[in-house]
A and B are shown apart, each in its own frame.
Chain A
Amino acid sequence: GAGVSQSPRYKVAKRGQDVALRCDPISGHVSLFWYQQALGQGPEFLTYFQNEAQLDKSGLPSDRFFAERPEGSVSTLKIQRTQQEDSAVYLCASSLSSGRNIQYFGAGTRLSVL
């Protein structure tokens, strides 16, 4: 079936604008993760959902970042009042469940804040 799908693939925002990034996980996958990947660096954990429950949000860099997964499937990462340091690729990953299952990644959304 289809892999993890993210939209938009590219987003340009003016500083101070709000943005919303969408993730469609693999159908049936219980766990969903958001990571931030700065240019030339490895992905860094932002937040984790199991079904609709946000179990870990320790990686969110500020209270401007908010994530939700209201029906336990599609997830949205929202960034309010974007700043230049928010420019990065935002990756979503899903896994069948917690425990012993590998994470499958989407292609990411490249956010550029001008």
Chain B
Amino acid sequence: GENVEQHPSTLSVQEGDSAVIKCTYSDSASNYFPWYKQELGKRPQLIIDIRSNVGEKKDQRIAVTLNKTAKHFSLHITETQPEDSAVYFCAASNNAGNMLTFGGGTRLMVKP
């Protein structure tokens, strides 16, 4: 089955700096890669996703890149703000509506 590795497990940045979180996956059949943000005690919320037919997607301060050959994808957050502090999870699936395999999560702390 699919295996998703996520790094780093914790990341501390100064407000205004950029943050990058990286994930690798094992199953070449995976073609859908969402990123979820989870604040303490709250539901995971989708912040951006990418499908395997594109290499990059941007939404304001958030971008995701995908390298299918190397089987890795990354989340980039620019101009970080304290409210970006949360745990971020990457995931992979062989289709958007199918089961997700999650990475272990990255705790992002943005210091004001």
Which residues on A are within 8 Å of B, measured CB to CB? 3-4, 31, 33, 35, 40-45, 48, 56, 59, 91, 95-108
Contact = CB atoms under 8 A, between A and B. Distances in A.
20 contacts: A33-B100, A35-B102, A42-B89, A42-B104, A43-B100, A43-B102, A45-B100, A59-B99, A91-B44, A95-B96, A99-B95, A99-B96, A99-B97, A100-B95, A100-B96, A102-B34, A102-B49, A103-B97, A105-B45, A107-B43
Contacts of A3: 43
Contacts of B42: 107
Interface string B20-41: 0000000000000010100001
Given A31-B97, A98-B98, A101-B97, A40 B44 contact: no
Contacts, number: 66
Nearest to B44: A105
A57 to B, nearest CB: 11
A108 to B, nearest CB: 7
A101 to B, nearest CB: 5
Given A48-B98, A107-B41, 10 more contacts: A33-B99, A35-B100, A42-B91, A42-B102, A42-B103, A44-B102, A97-B97, A102-B49, A103-B96, A105-B44
A40 B95 contact: no
Interface of B: 4, 6, 34, 36, 41-46, 49, 89, 91, 95-105
B105 A41 contact: yes
A101 B104 CA distance: 23
B67 to A, nearest CB: 21
A106 B89 contact: no
Contacts of B99: 33, 45, 48, 56, 59
Contact of A105 (B36, B103, B104, B105): B36
B43 A98 contact: no
